[in-house]
Amino acid sequence: MLGALTMEGARRHGVEKFVGVGTICAYPKMAAVPFQEGDLWNGYPEETNAPYGIAKKMLLVQGQAYRQEYGFNAIHLLPVNLYGPHDNFDPKSSHVIPALIRKFLEATDTGAPEVVCWGTGRATREFLFVEDCAEGIVRATEGYDGPEPVNIGAGFELSIRELAGLIGELTGFSGTLSFDPSKPDGQPRRMLDVSRAQRQFGFAATTDFRAGLRRTIEWYRAHRTGAA
């Protein structure tokens, strides 16, 4: 409803351009890796976040219909998992990177011998530093005018086990890392084909992943009371 009403309001008030920001959760659960924009409709999304992903896909369809019906300049971007300073570190609602950063720092502070992570650790993800995502949105706003969705990502893939090990290293955790396979892995793999963004409006992520994680960890260390 938010997307439908916002776009209709923008059309009625003569907004020059509407930039819809979708989600990688819109892709089919078993999409071929790397995810290409043309595969968006080739299956049902991963069940735990399918309603969210499908709602975002409707924003894409609405924009394409408005472009055809009214000549309305609506574009649609598909960012991959984001991370960075000012993220949500609440253990009840945070995503994987801030959740792991908090877990490892608290374990380091208390001298806990073990950190337990959800799932098997075999699922893979791709992560984009928030400032790179902002740059991609600005470039698309300024330079893209087309009906097709565009992936916004960094173009790499790593397992949750590798991610947890890296965050443990960067936070100084020296204990044991284990996984709880009774908890869900979510979508088995995620990685985007980012060639369309490069081709259409010259966007490519520039933040090194280790450097981005360090900046995120440093920000949380400096703002732990407020961030929590």
Cα distance between residue 22 and residue 8, in whole Å: 17
27, 52, 70, 144: which one is catalytic?
52
Judged by DSSP in three states, 28 sits in strand
**Interior CA angle at 91 toward 48 and 116, to 5°?**
85
The answer to whether 97 touches 158, Cβ cutoff 8 Å, is no
Cα distance between residue 162 and residue 70, in whole Å: 48
Nearest CA to 74 out of 56, 59, 57 is that of 59
User: In sequence order, which ranges of the chain are alpha helices (DSSP H)?
Assistant: 2-12, 50-70, 96-110, 130-143, 160-171, 195-201, 209-222, 224-227
Beta bridge partners of 28: 45
Residue listed under structure tokens 């998992």 = 81
**Could you tell me the CA-to-CA distances from 77 to 112, 136, 220 in Å, in that order?**
41, 9, 28
Cα distance between residue 83 and residue 88, in whole Å: 9
Q: If residue 147 lies in a helix (H) or strand (E), which one and from where to where?
A: none
Whether 220 is catalytic:
no
What residues are annotated to the active site? 52
